[in-house]
Amino acid sequence: MAKDKTIFTCTECGGTSPRWLGKCPACGAWNTLIEQVAEAGPGKNRLSAPQGYAGLAHAQPVMPLAAIEAQDVARTPSSIDELDRVLGGGIVEGGVVLIGGDPGIGKSTLLLQAMDALQRAGLPTLYVTGEESGAQVALRSRRLGIEGSQVKLLAEIQLEKILATVEATQPAVVVIDSIQTTYSDQLTSAPGSVAQVRECAAHLTRMAKGTGIAVILVGHVTKEGALAGPRVLEHMVDTVLYFEGDTHSQFRLVRAIKNRFGAVNEIGVFAMTEKGLKGVSNPSAIFLSQHSEPVPGSCVMVTLEGTRPMLVEIQALVDSGGPSPRRLSVGLDKDRLAMLLAVLHRHAGVACMDQDVFVNAVGGVRISEPAADLAVMLSITSSLRGKPLPKGFIAFGEVGLAGEVRPAPRGQERLKEAAKLGFSVAVVPKANAPKKPIEGLTIHAVERVEEAMNVVRGL
Ligand code: TYD
Ligand code: MG
């Protein structure tokens, strides 16, 4: 096949160059030029036409919004409940889903299970594997207990061949595992480069929109994030799901970061078992480590991710540090930790200036909501003083720079979930205090950080 002409475009300013250069000749930024297929023919990119546009293209009909029939999207449930939950109900016709996550977290496993379920439900599927051979995928399917699976498999990494096969076999759902191994003949860049990843994803998205075939792209996220590519795809696709969780623990979370067909921040919870991923329908207590007696530096919070409240243990370790003490957090925002330490010092008189502070959300879960603030602060003070919080204790609430404790959304639901799991003492923002008492739960409503510290000291 004849190669189309390629150009190099700067991701910062849009400047172009016929050759790759380390520095953009237009804006001077370094390492921003990426390869793209040049649009063929003259005038394609013309921005202004002094003689008017009529000669260049036909005018298109327009319609008032009210005259357009609003259609609800057709979804096919994958019959894996936790996956359907994050997808917003199921696979959407012509929808493009990106599933990202660290290597080995279970992307291929989940998708193979989902494809098999869809195929059994009567939807023709195609699984394109570029990372593993057909034999390897078959081996996994035996392990998953889906012998006799009718999922069609294609071991191929060249985009043009994949598209031709899709056209010939007409599946309803295609999985591309992974987008980083796929490459197009039209570009000279190596597979996995930003240019290739973007070009391939753009072709597949266009194919999905044009044919109504649902496409699921698998993407790897490396520690650096950007170079692996999936980040540049986020704006192209309809739905972005990310796997989180610790590969060493059994539990995996799939979170919807973006969803044109459903709610964002919804999470699906799975357990990795001998026979693949199994949905966990009641995940509220899986992120607690089971201490027989309370230990210093541990505080349980109730987080509300999507529609379900979950209890998560926050652990802190405060230890005397060197000349430049470290602040490290796993699963929580590092900048927020620095802010909370400053608030703790200024408003509650708890100083950690010369101390290393480590904070961790148990089980590899990532907590982005500020309602974790109070639990982070209480676990830090508990570790600093070497004094455990009482048995059955929970806390949640956002903390502001002025030392005020702000309410968390849907506080009642959080408290009820904690009571259901046998927690007996709670420190919560005043505005979250329930009007009617909750059975078995003593609630201390606080307005300020220092008040929360005093309550805890007196327990
Ligand atoms: P995989 O789906 O290959 O991860 P990814 O595609 O995200 O790179 O699966 C990764 C891990 O899951 C692998 O270490 C083995 C484990 N695993 C199980 O524990 N049970 C199973 O049934 C399967 C298929 C895999
Ligand atoms: Mg894989």
**What's the pLDDT tens digit per position in 394-416?**
999 999 999 999 999 999 999 99
* Rounded Cα–Cα distance for residues 164 and 166 (Å): 5
Ligand-binding site membership of 108 (annotated): yes
For the CA of 130, the nearest ligand: 2
Which 8-state DSSP code applies to residue 158?
B
Name the nearest CA neighbour of 380 among 456, 459, 293. Answer: 456
Q: What's the confidence (pLDDT) of residue 419?
A: 94
Asked, as a colleague might, if the bond just before 284 is cis with ω within 30 of 0, I would say no
Ligand 1 neighbour 216 (Cβ under 6 A): no
Structure tokens at 354: 């010369």
Highest averaged pLDDT of the listed ranges 27-41, 48-62, 94-108, 211-225:
94-108
Ligand 1 neighbour 112 (Cβ under 6 A): no
109 C-alpha to center of ligand 1: Å?
A: 6
The model's confidence at residue 142, banded by pLDDT at 50, 70 and 90, is very high
> Which whole number is the average pLDDT over 273-298?
87
pLDDT (tens digit per residue) in 20-57 = 888 888 888 888 888 888 765 554 455 566 677 777 78
* Rounded Cα–Cα distance for residues 164 and 149 (Å): 23
356 C-alpha to center of ligand 1: Å?
A: 36
* Rounded Cα–Cα distance for residues 424 and 360 (Å): 23
By most ligand atoms within 8 Å of CB, the mutation choice from 144, 147, 272 for ligand 1 is 272
194 C-alpha to center of ligand 2: Å?
A: 19
- Please state whether the predicted TM-score (pTM) of the whole model is above 0.95: no
Residue count (the chain)? 459
> Which whole number is the average pLDDT over 380-406?
96
Task: Tell whether the model's pLDDT for residue 141 goes beyond 70.
Answer: yes
Q: What's the confidence (pLDDT) of residue 201?
A: 93
Residue with tokens 């990426």: 34
Handedness of CA 87, 90, 91, 93 (dihedral sign): negative
* Rounded Cα–Cα distance for residues 390 and 408 (Å): 22
Ligand 1 neighbour 275 (Cβ under 6 A): yes
Ligand-binding site membership of 107 (annotated): yes
Ligand 1 neighbour 278 (Cβ under 6 A): no
Ligand 1 neighbour 104 (Cβ under 6 A): yes
285 C-alpha to center of ligand 1: Å?
A: 24
> Which whole number is the average pLDDT over 235-245?
89
Structure tokens at 67: 């005259």
- Closest ligand 1 atom, residue 140 Cα: 24
> Which whole number is the average pLDDT over 285-299?
86
Using DSSP bridges, classify how beta strands 16-17 and 425-429 pair: parallel, antiparallel or unpaired.
unpaired
* Rounded Cα–Cα distance for residues 36 and 195 (Å): 6
pLDDT (tens digit per residue) in 114-133 = 999 999 999 999 999 999 99
Measured in degrees and rounded to the nearest 5, phi and psi for residue 251 equal: -90, 145
Residue with tokens 């060249």: 158
Measured in degrees and rounded to the nearest 5, phi and psi for residue 453 equal: -65, -40
265 C-alpha to center of ligand 1: Å?
A: 24
Residue with tokens 């379920």: 117
Q: What's the confidence (pLDDT) of residue 385?
A: 94
* Rounded Cα–Cα distance for residues 375 and 363 (Å): 16
* Rounded Cα–Cα distance for residues 377 and 262 (Å): 34
Which 8-state DSSP code applies to residue 18?
S
Q: What's the confidence (pLDDT) of residue 226?
A: 44
- Closest ligand 1 atom, residue 132 Cα: 3
Residue type, 422: G
pLDDT (tens digit per residue) in 320-346 = 988 889 999 998 999 999 999 999 999
Percent of all residues in the chain with a pLDDT value above 70, rounded to a whole number: 94
CB atoms within 10 A of CB 341: 23
C-beta of residue 439 within 8 angstroms of C-beta of residue 419 = yes
Adjacent-strand bridge partners of 51: none
Strands of 400-439 (E only): list them. 405-406, 425-429
Ligand 1 neighbour 101 (Cβ under 6 A): yes
Name the nearest CA neighbour of 282 among 421, 408, 95, 381. Answer: 421
Q: What is the mean pLDDT of the chain?
A: 89
Query: Which strands sit side by side in the sheet containing 251-259, from one edge to the other?
Result: 152-155, 125-129, 173-177, 214-220, 96-101, 239-244, 251-259, 267-273, 276-279
Task: Tell whether the model's pLDDT for residue 106 goes beyond 50.
Answer: yes
> Which whole number is the average pLDDT over 175-198?
88
The model's confidence at residue 231, banded by pLDDT at 50, 70 and 90, is low
Using DSSP bridges, classify how beta strands 173-177 and 125-129 pair: parallel, antiparallel or unpaired.
parallel
The model's confidence at residue 225, banded by pLDDT at 50, 70 and 90, is very low
Q: What's the confidence (pLDDT) of residue 47?
A: 56
